[in-house]
Amino acid sequence: MPYNIENVVRQGLIAAVTLACLKARPPEFYQDVLPILQRHCQECHRSGEMAPMPLITYQDARPWAKAIRDAVRRGEMPPWFADPCCGKFANDRSLTGAEISTLANWAEAGAPAGDQRDAPPPVPWADGWNIAPPDAVFEIPPFHVPASGAIEYQYFAVPTHFQQDRWIQAVEVRPGSRKSVHHAVVYIREPGSTWTSGPTKADILQVYAPGAAPEVWPEGMAKLIPAGSDLVFEIHYTPDGKPEIDSTKIGVIFAKRAPEKRVLTLQMDRSDFAIPPGDPDYQVSVWGTLPNDALLLSLFPHMHLRGKAFEFMRILGDGRPEVMLRVSKYNFFWQLDYKLALPLPLKKGTRLVWTATFDNSANHPLNPDPSKEVRYGHQSWDEMMVGFFDVAVDAGIDKRQFFVR
Ligand code: HEC
């Protein structure tokens, strides 16, 4: 096309008209909204998963358009609580500002469908397991959860019958009764151990809590289940108004080859605190020194109802603190783990400081009783202060050896 002023004007006009159309066209379901739902919502919003309604089809999503707008604007959905100040996480589910606008504008425009031919291909969500079909599955015997009352932690030992050591590449805990399983920790009880309940130094295979994704360790890194081990499920049940039967299970996938690194789940915690009644901002810190070199993989804060914030910090060589994860709006109903986008090498001797903040005032919407002093305990109305962290160490080192300096 010859370059003359008429053409430039015409081109400019066409561009302006196209822009205007783009601006004027409200977001449509198939073209604009569905890709966002696939990326950020469907892992939970589909049948068999934890969310109350599926968001797979237009028919699913249409009645929820305004609720979706409100939930994403308020930052309630998708659940993700890492402060953008610090750290980058591989499992970051948060929406960009543009994605929030798309969902909100779609709702405001009356939730138009658009043309189904614009839809992205459906995500082939697996039925049941979110990991590939497991090589072995271990299930607890059915447990009868009563309709009400406080239930002490329950412990179920399930033998693996493994004749040889097994390296585990991926695991997924699936609760039988999602309503009543509040959280579950699956421990690896090595042969010779007689531990049955309570605190333990046994390695953890997986911590399950609402919002937790299955664990898939990077190539070359795996958890070890030694031959003859049992899996001990520690389950906290919270009755939900009607009796339920739970049979929680864990599926494991074996590593294809022996890994270079062994993954260990470590924790630093405090149980000697007393949170004064009414205190809106009570801090509890725990610190420690890494006994050996390790590659940090993930962080997982755990508190109960009065939890307000949690920070994981390391002290750099020159003494400066660096926050690795700050959860500034902690929400008890979501127990999430935060997987580092890039594993972080930590040197032997690194000082680590975890700080939990509790709000025991009447302003905390979940506080069951601001007039009480609160101490450590298992039940939700007691408190806990635990910072779990996964590290990868040389494959030959077990948890006990890791702590030998
Ligand atoms: C980690 C799992 C998970 C993800 C990811 C998730 N949700 Fe949810 N969602 C839930 C659960 C569980 C509930 C019910 C409990 C609640 O409301 O907190 C829920 C509730 C909702 C509700 C209902 C709120 C109400 O008014 O009752 C809406 C709307 C919603 N989600 C939208 C979304 C959208 C949109 C996305 C993605 C941008 C998303 N969710 C991602 C688990 C999830």
Amino acid at 279: D
Task: For residue 235, give the nearest of 107, 137, 141 by alpha carbon.
Answer: 141
> Are both 37 and 156 inside the same structural domain?
no
- Is 321 among the domain residues? yes
Residues with Cβ < 8 Å from 331, sequence gap 6 or more?
79, 81, 307
User: Any idea what the CATH number is for the domain that residue 367 is in?
Assistant: 2.60.120.230
Confirm or reject: Cβ of 395 under 6 Å from ligand 1. Answer: no
Kindly give the residue spans of alpha helices, DSSP state H, lying in 25-53.
Answer: 34-40
**Which residues does the chain have with pLDDT short of 70?**
1-24
Residues with Cβ < 8 Å from 403, sequence gap 6 or more?
291
Confirm or reject: Cβ of 77 under 6 Å from ligand 1. Answer: yes
Domain containing residue 264:
136-402
Give the span between the Cα atoms of 127 and 78, in whole angstroms: 22
> Are both 96 and 47 inside the same structural domain?
yes
Ligand 1 centroid, distance to 45 Cα (angstroms):
7
> Are both 145 and 228 inside the same structural domain?
yes
Distances (CA, A) of 255 to 167, 168, 171, 201: 5, 5, 11, 24
Give the span between the Cα atoms of 376 and 380, in whole angstroms: 10
Confirm or reject: Cβ of 46 under 6 Å from ligand 1. Answer: no
Strands of the 307-315 sheet, one edge to the other:
282-289, 351-358, 307-315, 321-327
- Is 363 among the domain residues? yes
> Are both 353 and 394 inside the same structural domain?
yes
Ligand 1 centroid, distance to 134 Cα (angstroms):
27
Domain final position from 118, 144, 159:
118
> Are both 92 and 230 inside the same structural domain?
no
> Are both 238 and 373 inside the same structural domain?
yes
Strands of the 230-237 sheet, one edge to the other:
154-159, 230-237, 181-189, 203-208
| Structure confidence by residue, pLDDT tens digits, 167-179 | 999 999 999 998 8
What is residue 5's predicted lDDT score, i.e. its pLDDT? 45
What is residue 89's predicted lDDT score, i.e. its pLDDT? 97
Domain final position from 118, 145, 160:
118
Task: For residue 190, give the nearest of 201, 181, 176 by alpha carbon.
Answer: 201
> Are both 178 and 73 inside the same structural domain?
no
> Are both 108 and 199 inside the same structural domain?
no
What is residue 195's predicted lDDT score, i.e. its pLDDT? 92
- Is 372 among the domain residues? yes
Domain count, the chain: 2
Cis before 78? omega within 30: yes
> Are both 245 and 150 inside the same structural domain?
yes
- Is 151 among the domain residues? yes
Q: Is the pTM of the predicted complex or chain greater than 0.85? A: yes
> Are both 298 and 211 inside the same structural domain?
yes
Give the span between the Cα atoms of 329 and 362, in whole angstroms: 17
Confirm or reject: Cβ of 192 under 6 Å from ligand 1. Answer: no
What is residue 124's predicted lDDT score, i.e. its pLDDT? 85
What is residue 159's predicted lDDT score, i.e. its pLDDT? 97
What is residue 23's predicted lDDT score, i.e. its pLDDT? 58
What is residue 271's predicted lDDT score, i.e. its pLDDT? 95
What is residue 260's predicted lDDT score, i.e. its pLDDT? 97
Residue nearest to atom 8 of ligand 1 (CA): 77
> Are both 174 and 252 inside the same structural domain?
yes
Give the span between the Cα atoms of 262 and 217, in whole angstroms: 10
